[in-house]
Amino acid sequence: MNKAYVNKKKARLVLPKEHGTWMMFFLPYILGVTLSGPSLLHIPLLIGWLFLFLASTPLLNLIRNNKVKAEMMPWLIKYLILAVIFLLPVIWLTPVLLLVGAFLIPLLIINIYFIRVRNERSLWNNLSGIITFTLGGVAAVLLGEGNVSNALFLLVLITLYFMGSAFYVKSLIRERKNHSFKRFSNIYHALLLLIPFLLGVPMLFFVFLPGVLKDWLTSRKQQMRPMQIGIIEIINGVCFFIVTIIVM
C-alpha cells in the first residue's frame, strides 16, 4: 500500500511516500470526529492510529524486499510500540474498537497477497486500502457517539468517494490512453449520483456532485503533472468534507 522514502537528514526517517495517502488517512478520521462529536479520547486514538499507519510502511517494504530488514525492522518496532502505547488505553475504555482491529487483519492479508503477485495497483487492492483508511473514521464515530449504524454508513460513504478518486487518478496516469477505462470511470461517477436516492438520503447527491463534475469535465488528452492532480484531489476532498458536514 505504501512505499517508503528515507530522509537522511532526520536519522533515516521512514515515512509513506505517496502524498495522497495522507488525505486518505486524515479525511475519514476528522469527518468521523466532526460528525460524532469530538472528545479528549479522540486525541490519543488519532495518535495511535497515525503510528499504526506509519508502521505499515516498513512492514510492507519488508514484505516486498527482505533485504531491507536491517533498515525497516527498527522503524516497524518503534511505530508499533508507540501505536500500542496510545491505543491500548482507548481500547480499554472502548472495547468495541477491537472490532475495527479485527477488520484490519483480513485487509492486511489482501494487501500482502497483491504484493506477492506483484499487482499492487489492482483496483481490488485499492479498495482494500481505502477501506483500511476509512476504518479510522469508523473508529472515531464508535468512540464518539457509539452508533454502529452511523459508523457503517460513514464507511460506505467514504469508500464510494475514494473509489471515485482511484478511478479518476488512474484514468489520468496509468490508463490515460485507455478510452474504455475513462468511460468506466465516467459510468462509476454517474452511478454515484444515483446511490443517494437508493439509500433514501437524496441530499447526499450534493456530496458526490463535485467529484462527478471533476471526472466528467477533465480532459485526458493532455497528460497532467502529479502535482496538478494532487491539488485537484485536495480541493475535491475539502469540498467532500464540507458538503458532507452540511448535509449530515
- DSSP letter for each residue of 82-148: HHHHHHHHHHHH-TTHHHHHHHHHHHHHHHHHHHHTT-TT-HHHHHHHHHHHHHHHHHHHHHHT--H
Kindly state the average pLDDT of the residues 89-105: 94
* CA dihedral angle for residue 25, residue 131, residue 36, residue 209, rounded to 10 degrees: 90
Same-domain status, 128 and 52: yes
Of 130, 146, 162, the last residue of a domain is 146
Containing structural domain, residue 50: 1-146
Q: Are residues 36 and 115 in the same domain?
A: yes
Q: Span 209-234, mean pLDDT?
A: 89
Do 118 and 184 fall within a single domain? no
- Residues 79 and 186 reside in one and the same domain: no
- Distance, in Å, from the CA atom of 195 to the CA atom of 52, rounded to the nearest integer, reads 32
Q: How many domains does the chain have?
A: 2
Domain identity same for 14 and 137 = yes
Which of 162 and 227 is assigned the larger pLDDT? 162
- 55-86 pLDDT, tens digit per residue, is 999 999 999 988 888 889 999 999 999 999 99
Residues 220 and 192 in one domain: yes
Q: Are residues 123 and 45 in the same domain?
A: yes
- Are 218 and 177 within one domain? yes
C-beta pairs of 106-114 under 8 Å, 24+ apart in sequence: 107/131, 107/132, 107/135, 108/132, 111/1, 111/60, 112/60, 112/63
Residues 135 and 156 in one domain: no
| Cell (9 digits) for 60 | 510492507
Shared domain for 45 and 64, answered yes or no, is yes
Cell numbers 471533476 correspond to: 214
Distance CA 229, CA 214 (A): 11
Q: DSSP letters of 7-32?
A: EGGGTSEEEE--THHHHHHHHHHHHH
pTM for the whole thing? 0.90
pLDDT of 10 reads 46
- pLDDT at residue 242 is higher than 70: yes
User: In percent, how much of the chain has pLDDT > 90?
Assistant: 73
- Of 121, 146, 171, the last residue of a domain is 146
User: Residue 4: pLDDT above 80?
Assistant: no
Residue 225 has pLDDT above 90, yes or no: no
Residues 134, 241, single domain; the answer is no
Residues 83, 189: one domain? no
Domain end (from 146, 171, 196): 146
